[in-house]
Structure 1
Amino acid sequence: MSSLFAFPGQGAQQVGMLHQLPPEVAASLVEASDVLGEDVLALDSEEALQSTRAVQLCLLVAGVSCARLLLQRSPAPDYVAGLSIGAYAAAVIAGSLDFADALRLVTLRGELMQRAYPQGFGMTAILGLDQATVERLLAESEGPVYLANINAENQLVIAGSETAMAAVAERARGLGAGAAKRLTMSVPSHCELLNEPARELAAAFAGVELRRPAIRYLSGTTARPVFDPERLRDDLAFNMCRVIDWHGTLRTAYERGVRLHIELPPGAVLSGLARRVFDQGTVIAFQGARLDTLDALLREEVSRTR
């Protein structure tokens, strides 16, 4: 049996999310503030979270700081994986990317994405239709709109212009979609609209050292393990313009024996998706759980493998 740390992506952010973290993560918050030259606790207000940069930094800091806290007292997981921006926290915890470098790269990532599409674009979740049906609707669309996330077999996310997404959403409802909900995203992530910002980020990545993961890293785009540092560099730099296959990533983890899925803060969105795949095992979110409970679960998984 194996364990997985899963790090959420944009959309999971919560007002006050950094202020709600355990006091034991204070050192990580100070470290992040020193690297950025600003108080990270100022980034999680309702006003600040209107910025893509602030959202992505908050998710990175929350994920890394709480994963570090677990690792101080518990066995390391067998795998890490992150949805979109969550991949950066996963790479840090895998030992492949320095936290300071991740903070600088995520700052640039958020700025590039926001600058590319300041308004008129975003993402919409479509529930209740299969991938083939949604892709047919996208092919018939007259505006720029693309498949962005495969979160579950019948939970997909599209990205594009407001008008194109609205038209696809209306047609999806007509075909029986349970919901077509505009997400709190101002950027059309995980599609070709972000090809140019991704290339700019890749240029910045060129000067950053990446190491072979000490904890197995699952890519949220290919749904496969990544071992080579150069492949990891490509995976991180370009995940903003590639379709996220989170459903496939969870299936890969399960097929490889993962039976303990721990979602790092904030929230429990990924836990809901994991329960659809993990027929056996345990799915739990850090937020709302006791540290001794998480520690016991990780130790139990280690004992089962011996």
Structure 2
Amino acid sequence: MTNTKYVFEQNRIDDVQWSGVSRLSSLPSLPDDGKSPPLKTPLFYLKSVSINAYEDDIYFVNNTEQTLHFVAPFKLYKSLTDAYAKLGDISDKNVHKARLYADDMDRLYTDVLPNQGVRIGRTHIIYDSDGLMQWFIQVPFKAVDAHYAMWRFNVVEKGGVGEAYPLLWDNFGKPTHMVSCQCLTERADMPIEPSVYEERCWVFDRLIESLGIADALFVLAINDVLYRYCVGWSAPYNESDIQAKDIAHKLQKLKPKDAQAVKAIVQSVYDFWFNEGFAKNISVEACTELFDLYQDWMAKH
């Protein structure tokens, strides 16, 4: 009997070709003869690869002509709240949550080539056959009306995915078997990319050292908002924490009553550090999130 203690290891397979058949149909795609409807092929799909009599490896396959910046076979978060981390909680467990992807970075793939498959998990024919299997997968790719989007796939199946399992059709249509297939294009919905994980952790550690955990969490949450919305300017994550600290201090001192008052505070901070009027992209949505953070902080102090 196979050892069921599975330890994840990354692996890639090249030149993976879509066969035109999935577990959802025993029939191949119609011939591309000009008389039949156009062939439907997936941009992304899951593929099972047998490794022994009991186990299959599950691969995510990039069936596009573009190299994917990354493939994250885990949940991505846009905020501390999204990751179930809390302001004011200085416990080690909460600090760990605030780092967002500390338990997942070993599963992150970068620069996934066209027709390349990356291993995201494993199924066991006996132990997994009766249970529901779930995979969360997020990849950056274009959308119908956007050059950049974040695609979020939620796969839930009993006993595995079979030989091939489409995630997104080439017309950007959602396969009917998918639990969810979300296309995120708005700044308010965008997660913090795992590519800034180390940079963000470095900022967090530096904030803890200078401010203590409680205030560091508040400033980190503010910096997350500045980064996601590109407030002020499109700065690297580790170059906007100075403004985040000033905004945190002014929020605590001036006690704004609404998002509009927060916007005035943010504008004043960027006017101080840069030329007056330099920061023009201070959205209402960003200021609303900052106001919510301030209210949360006030409730705990």
**What's the TM-score once normalised by structure 1's chain length?**
0.26
Higher helix proportion, which one?
A: 1
Higher relative contact order (CA 8 A, sep 6+): 1
Computing the radius of gyration over CA atoms, which structure comes out larger, 1 or 2?
2
Higher strand proportion, which one?
A: 2
**What's the TM-score once normalised by structure 2's chain length?**
0.26
